[in-house]
Structure 1
Amino acid sequence: MCRHVAYVGPEEPLGRLLVEPAHGLYRQSWAPRRQRYGTVNADGFGVGWYAPGDPVPARYRRAGPVWADLSFADLARVVRTRALLAAVRDATLSGADAEAAAAPFAAGTWLFSHNGAVPGWPGSLAPLVSGLPPEQLLSLEARNDSAFVWALVLARLRSGTPDGQALGDTVLEVARAAPASRLNLLLTDGDTVSATAWGDTLWYLARPGGGTVVASEPYDDDPHWQEVPDRTLLTASRTEVLLAPLQEPADALAAAPARGPARAASPKEPST
């Protein structure tokens, strides 16, 4: 199991979003408050962020715990960004992939993370291999369930499927193959965030000063944090958050932003 967070909004130092909050991702690496599976996220970490004028994100990933990396502390203090995706990792199974197994995974303008696990891996997902191009299988960054789920999402994205629908369709496909899977997925292109709540906690915050945070758990005690119901697709911009149930057919997910059953208040409106 892992913890992850994504942000889109006004430019901020990485540390203000990841390190400074009382219960930020940095602290969640050893003391998460709402993690249901596992207790310490010390099997790697990573952050991806977008620099002004460059749509392709940079990444910094390591195989060890975030609290032991002094270089990250310096980087988080001075690097500013308008969007990021970061994660701390608790490996489901041991492996030799080191930092390659640490989220965020990346391709083009996208950053991706998986909070959860696929039981029976790799055999449970073997039937899904035929749906992936051979070159994509051969270029997997790591040999774990998260990297394979990312490959399924990426194949859909590259075929032109909208970000939210690519996540939703992948969750439903994997859940059919491995019904007990926990599939909280997080995806950003630097302008929007898409996420799924499937088996673990997911929260969002529409910040009064502008910007949206989507995270495994709140990084502070701000009363405006909202929990996402299980089996839900979330799509967010800097100013609004839309939710849609994930039990719907795949073609319905594409229309979710236009008719989602719940809409969060924009940063200019009070949340209740």
Structure 2
Amino acid sequence: MCRWLAYTGNPLHLETVLFNAKHSLIDQSLHSRLGQTTTNGDGFGIGWYGHPTDIPFRYRCIQPAWSDRNLREAARAIRSPLFVAHIRAATGTPSQETNCHPFRYGRWLFMHNGLIRNFPALRRDLMMAIEPDLFSSIEGSTDSEVLFFLALTFGLELAPVTALKRMVAFVEETGRLHDVEQPLNMTVCATDGEQIVAVRYSSEGQSRSLFHSTSFHHLHELYPDDPRIAAVGEDAFLVLSEPLADLPGWWEEIPESTVVVARGGEIEQFPFAPEAA
């Protein structure tokens, strides 16, 4: 499938997690340990904020992440307090720039790992439910972008967790109408530059892997001389498909059917279940 990560904390150069970590996102694009596919080479994207109220910047490309020299230059230059990155393994839709994550609408960025099963059969019904004023902003052909615009339709900008629950409920109900028993598998990330909302959920209860960093205050005490930890500050937070390094105590797996919300140094974790609109 895909691999992704999201970071918030002290401004950090993107290369720190994209290239410099032992099992960086670029390494995962070639040697994923926990993904459904070892290689994720169907394009990539990064998104970052200069200021929380700004429209985020994006760079997306259909090349494999490991071979794009411009990505290496950009990651060395860009320093941001909140950024996301995604490497793609396509599931039935073309490798084209408009299908690369993160997707953007206004201040919001969205990434997805997983799939809507039998998406061609469900696609029309799902897309017809998208708010008409949003429809013209859809650029690509992926199930992931449809999930994003359904979440926006259900109120992502006002109540992101509720909107994601309603999005899931609608996809599952549509799947049942088309005799798709387990239509949705996902880890998703949505951010507006002020908060990161990450969900691990699947209809069958066997979601793709998802982890988050443990307390960086605790990690400062465990590894006081590690410059990677010192750079991010004590309120930093990472959520990602698989760990970047093998440091004991650094990572915690996010349970099935769980949402994590990171905002202003506060991390909250709640059970996640579909909720009909």
TM-score range, shorter chain: 0.7 to 0.9
Q: TM-score, normalised by structure 1?
A: 0.85
> 1:99 aligns to what?
97
> 2:212 aligns to what?
204
> 2:82 aligns to what?
83
> 2:273 aligns to what?
247
1:155-184 CA-partner distances (Å, limit 9, x unpaired): 2336x5312222222123223333242121
Quote the offset at 1:131 in angstroms.
Answer: 2.2
> 2:29 aligns to what?
29
1:220 and 2:245 equivalent? Answer: yes
Residues 67 and 248 of structure 1: is their aligned pair in 2 closer, same or farther, counting only changes over 3 Å?
A: closer
Provide the C-alpha distance between the structure 1 equivalents of 2:52 and 2:104, rounded to a whole number of angstroms.
18
Quote the offset at 1:113 in angstroms.
Answer: 0.4
One-letter amino acid of the structure 2 residue matched with residue 201 of structure 1: S
**Equivalent of 1:114 in 91, 112, 115:** 112
One-letter amino acid of the structure 2 residue matched with residue 103 of structure 1: H
1:123-147 CA-partner distances (Å, limit 9, x unpaired): 1243333322334334311011111
3-state DSSP of counterpart to 2:58: strand
Quote the offset at 1:240 in angstroms.
Answer: 2.7
- Stretches of structure 1 lacking an aligned partner (at least 5 in a row): 252-272
Provide the C-alpha distance between the structure 1 equivalents of 2:174 and 2:50, rounded to a whole number of angstroms.
38
3-state DSSP of counterpart to 2:135: helix
Residues 138 and 86 of structure 1: is their aligned pair in 2 closer, same or farther, counting only changes over 3 Å?
A: same
Quote the offset at 1:83 in angstroms.
Answer: 0.3
> How many residue pairs align between the two structures?
248
3-state DSSP of counterpart to 1:157: coil
One-letter amino acid of the structure 2 residue matched with residue 56 of structure 1: I
> 2:222 aligns to what?
none
Provide the C-alpha distance between the structure 2 equivalents of 1:148 and 1:72, rounded to a whole number of angstroms.
27
1:237 and 2:263 equivalent? Answer: yes
Q: TM-score, normalised by structure 2?
A: 0.83
Quote the offset at 1:5 in angstroms.
Answer: 0.6
Contact 1:171–1:183 (8 Å) recurs in 2: no
One-letter amino acid of the structure 2 residue matched with residue 43 of structure 1: D
> 1:51 aligns to what?
50
1:39-85 CA-partner distances (Å, limit 9, x unpaired): 21100000000114762110000001011110110110111000001
Provide the C-alpha distance between the structure 1 equivalents of 2:77 and 2:145, rounded to a whole number of angstroms.
30
Residues 112 and 53 of structure 1: is their aligned pair in 2 closer, same or farther, counting only changes over 3 Å?
A: closer
Q: What's the Cα RMSD here?
A: 1.9
Identity within the alignment, %: 31
> 1:41 aligns to what?
40
Provide the C-alpha distance between the structure 2 equivalents of 1:52 and 1:129, rounded to a whole number of angstroms.
32
Q: Extract structure 1 runs of 4+ deviating beyond 2 A.
A: 124-131, 133-139, 175-180, 206-210, 247-251
Quote the offset at 1:190 in angstroms.
Answer: 1.2
Provide the C-alpha distance between the structure 2 equivalents of 1:221 and 1:232, rounded to a whole number of angstroms.
24
**Equivalent of 1:148 in 123, 146, 156:** 146
Task: Return 79-88 or 166-175, whichever deviates more.
Answer: 166-175
Residues 12 and 2 of structure 1: is their aligned pair in 2 closer, same or farther, counting only changes over 3 Å?
A: same
One-letter amino acid of the structure 2 residue matched with residue 215 of structure 1: L
- Stretches of structure 2 lacking an aligned partner (at least 5 in a row): 176-181, 202-206, 218-232
3-state DSSP of counterpart to 2:74: helix
